[in-house]
Structure 1
Amino acid sequence: PYEYLLVPENIPIDIVYEDDELLVVNKPAGMVVHPGHGNYSGTLINALTYHFENLPKNSNERPGLVHRIDKDTSGLLVVAKTEASMTHLAKQFFDKTSEREYVALVWGDVEEEEGTIEGNIGRHPKNRLQNTVFEGDEAEKGKPAVTHYKVLERLGYVTLVSCKLETGRTHQIRVHMKHIGHTLFNDERYGGEKILKGTTFTKYKQFVENCFKILPRQALHARTLGFVHPKTGKQLSFNSELPDDFRECIEKWRGYAKHQN
């Protein structure tokens, strides 16, 4: 693997909770979690190594990282401060006992009020930047993935949903929601930047393009994070407010949906 020097950088971090064993961080959209693929500075790890010395190493030289969220997804992330906590937390994620709930704005009117999406996820055979669901005879090409979703609000051409992760595959919610025909709003990598339905109406097109400007990324936020504290054994749960751009986008759709009825 390509060797790089991990440079600590004085980047502010939004710390939601901290003790001797771990910290919970609220990551802004646009920030990469760890260095790699041309992002060797400005990442959360660059920031963490500046603010915290002696973070535990894990197998990938990603100090303290138990899990990660995509660059353009905002929200909660737990970081271990000791080797023991690293092991304990990693096991909770592996055993699927941690709680991870996301809020997503997806295209279309989601049919069911709630449901479970099960479909093995793996690298897309034709597009290396995408993951996809493999089914039937091809299932073994992917890793098992389970997402539970629930409709929070119907807004005409889009739906606000809550997604709970049972597994944590790369792009899991983005891939699973696309799989059931509801790509995340403005998710360029998965086709969510295309305007759904009604493109003939200039006003509608302008409205959606304005929403894309307000929220220039996929509409996904890691809202709830829960796990057992490695040392005290207490169940901890954290919540993070939707960021302003996401909230504003939802408000715009609420207004639009009202005028349609």
Structure 2
Amino acid sequence: MAEDLDIIQEDGSEELYERKSWVIDKGQEPMRIDKWVQQRLENASRNKIQKGIEAGFLTVNGKIEKSNYKVRPGDELVLLSLVNAEHTELKPENIPLHVVYEDNAVMVINKPPNMVVHPGVGNYTGTLLNGVAYHLLQQNPNITEEDLPRYGLVHRIDKNTTGLLVLAKTSDAAAHLAKQFFNHTVSRKYVALVWGDVEQDEGTINAHIARHQRFRKMFDAYPDGDHGKHAITHYRVLERFNYVTLVECILKTGRTHQIRVHMKHIGHTLFNDWEYGGDRILKGTIYTKYKQFVDNCFEQCPRCALHAKTLGFIHPVTKEQMFFESPLPDDITQVVDKWRGYVKAKLNSQQGLE
């Protein structure tokens, strides 16, 4: 039996889904697929596996089969399952949510800054998912994590990143969306303010990403591809301010900290990204007046200047192409305006001296 494993990651710090695949051995006797899978997964109940099969999280040779399907030699099985889904108890909390769109299958939320997406070490309450659980329970008091694992969360963004997230409201929708993220067919565009004057108007960054070999909470780029996971980011310059640049990034893969790591890799660390050194002057002088201006910008946007602006996916029920766009939040908008004004004032001053 050949086995493979891969993981869906978003521009965050924690994996949500893992993909396990098997090829059935030649000598395998016919066996119900739910029983066969249960024998290969630790702490997985038959009932839970059957629900996953019904929801479409398990495919055989690319097709969805029922729990009573009997595996045959040569069959290729692919299973999507939550990683460490049971390690924290999820407490529903009445937290205001900015719901951009909602129907019976999905909901799209515009996440504010400084909100963790789901509970984890050090953040057991006050997360977006605590609010989602409460929201869904108001609609259906009988819903549980057994019915809808992690209350439909299929991807995430960092605590300090703002912008759009899609969540499933049924297990069928969760399976459909999870596959779209895994197959990289979801359209995602981010807007970021980065240090320095980006040389090319547009470009592609192709470098593997893995944990930093010295600082385990950080990630690093490995352009030779000898370490980590394949990652591709397309970028396009939106506006230049000499010292910083406003760029649009399109993710073709979804690795942890991908935009932050890739932009730093090409010499353009995200503005005020303290984890990767963007919270200090990386372009310009160290003179008092300029330093004070930059410090004021940091105060105006006290986080990594990254926003998940657009999100596109196929609706899991109607199969319609859905597309959503979120305007830049006030903190990034105000900092961009500050840089725009600073560069204009400096240009006017230089022209006045000529």
Q: TM-score, normalised by structure 2?
A: 0.70
On the 8 A contact 1:56/1:80 being kept in 2, the answer is no
Counterpart of 1:89, as a letter, is: L
How much does 1:230 deviate?
Answer: 0.7
Percent identity of equivalent pairs: 60
The reply to whether residue 144 of structure 1 matches residue 245 of structure 2 is: no
Counterpart of 1:104, as a letter, is: A
Instruction: Tell me: CA distance 1:57–1:248, structure 2 relative to 1, closer, same or farther (3 Å).
Output: farther
> Quick one: which of 144, 163, 173 aligns to 1:75?
163
In the other structure, the counterpart of 2:88 is 4
> Quick one: which of 97, 113, 118 aligns to 1:13?
97
In the other structure, the counterpart of 1:162 is 248
On the 8 A contact 1:101/1:225 being kept in 2, the answer is yes
How much does 1:66 deviate?
Answer: 1.1
In the other structure, the counterpart of 1:190 is 276
For 1:25 and 1:87, how far apart are their aligned partners in 2? 19
DSSP-derived class of the 2:152 partner: coil
How much does 1:57 deviate?
Answer: 5.8
DSSP-derived class of the 1:224 partner: strand
For 2:87 and 2:223, how far apart are their aligned partners in 1? 37
On the 8 A contact 1:16/1:24 being kept in 2, the answer is yes
For 2:283 and 2:261, how far apart are their aligned partners in 1? 21
For 1:145 and 1:34, how far apart are their aligned partners in 2? 24
In the other structure, the counterpart of 2:184 is 96
On the 8 A contact 1:56/1:83 being kept in 2, the answer is no
The reply to whether residue 173 of structure 1 matches residue 259 of structure 2 is: yes
In the other structure, the counterpart of 2:335 is 249
In the other structure, the counterpart of 2:304 is 218
Instruction: Tell me: CA distance 1:85–1:255, structure 2 relative to 1, closer, same or farther (3 Å).
Output: same
Correspondence list, 1:56-75, <5 A? 62-75=150-163
Counterpart of 1:171, as a letter, is: H
How much does 1:62 deviate?
Answer: 2.6
Deviations 1:37-90 (A, max 9, x none): 21001101111111113276699x532111100000000000000111111111
Deviations 1:4-51 (A, max 9, x none): 321111100000000000000000010000111210011011111111
Deviations 1:93-118 (A, max 9, x none): 11111100000000000000000101
For 2:307 and 2:146, how far apart are their aligned partners in 1? 27
For 1:58 and 1:197, how far apart are their aligned partners in 2? 51
Q: TM-score, normalised by structure 1?
A: 0.95
For 1:113 and 1:149, how far apart are their aligned partners in 2? 8
In the other structure, the counterpart of 2:133 is 49
In the other structure, the counterpart of 2:37 is none
Instruction: Tell me: CA distance 1:57–1:68, structure 2 relative to 1, closer, same or farther (3 Å).
Output: farther
Counterpart of 2:106, as a letter, is: L
For 2:125 and 2:243, how far apart are their aligned partners in 1? 38
DSSP-derived class of the 2:116 partner: coil
DSSP-derived class of the 1:248 partner: helix
For 2:301 and 2:255, how far apart are their aligned partners in 1? 24
In the other structure, the counterpart of 2:239 is 153
On the 8 A contact 1:58/1:65 being kept in 2, the answer is no
In the other structure, the counterpart of 1:34 is 118
How much does 1:135 deviate?
Answer: 3.0
Paired residues in the alignment total: 258
The reply to whether residue 25 of structure 1 matches residue 25 of structure 2 is: no
Counterpart of 2:163, as a letter, is: G
Instruction: Tell me: CA distance 1:55–1:211, structure 2 relative to 1, closer, same or farther (3 Å).
Output: farther
Instruction: Tell which structure's C-alpha radius of gyration is larger.
Output: 2
For 1:227 and 1:156, how far apart are their aligned partners in 2? 36
For 1:83 and 1:197, how far apart are their aligned partners in 2? 48
Deviations 1:129-172 (A, max 9, x none): 11101232xx3421111100000000110000000011111110
For 2:160 and 2:146, how far apart are their aligned partners in 1? 25
For 1:172 and 1:58, how far apart are their aligned partners in 2? 32
Q: Which has the higher contact order (CA 8 A, sep 6+)?
A: 1
Instruction: Tell me: CA distance 1:103–1:178, structure 2 relative to 1, closer, same or farther (3 Å).
Output: same
CA-based RMSD of the aligned residues comes to 1.6
